[in-house]
Amino acid sequence: MKLELVIVDDSHLWLSLAEKLAKTHPLVGKVTTFEDSYDAWVHIQINKPQFVISDIEMPGMNGLSFLEMFSNRLPFISTSTKQEFEEVARELGCIDFITKPFTKTDIHHSIDSVYYHMYGKKVG
């Protein structure tokens, strides 16, 4: 079963890198990306993806706001250049936290964590 993922990041560089790396994970099917947090918010409400990777620091609606609104309904991976956001992101319900700059291994490990959270079994 392939997972549908939404990635939200106001930085085009980080957004495109996360998309490229996530698409290489064998369990990821469709990836939809957003640089604008409000557009992502609407998409998540309507399309109900299986999980989200979201930057913490964004203009408008930030990643912590996303966690407050959605983490009880779908798994989140939070990302930031600042490690100090990890504790509050986890308290708000993110499954995993990735510090930028991230690697393919970081993204894949986090997707594996989400899969385990959703289905109670390890990947592979």
Interatomic CA distance for residues 47 and 56, integer angstroms: 22
Q: What is the pLDDT along the chain (124 residues), one digit of tens a residue?
A: 799 999 999 999 999 999 999 999 999 999 999 999 999 999 999 999 999 999 999 998 999 998 999 989 999 999 999 999 999 999 999 999 999 999 999 999 999 999 999 999 887 6
Q: Rounded to an integer, what distance in angstroms lies between the CA atom of residue 111 and that of residue 52?
A: 10
DSSP character at residue 101: S
pLDDT attached to residue 124: 66
78: part of which helix (H) or strand (E)? strand 76-80
- Residue pair 119/95 in contact (Cβ under 8 Å)? The answer is no
Tokens encoding 45: 């409400």
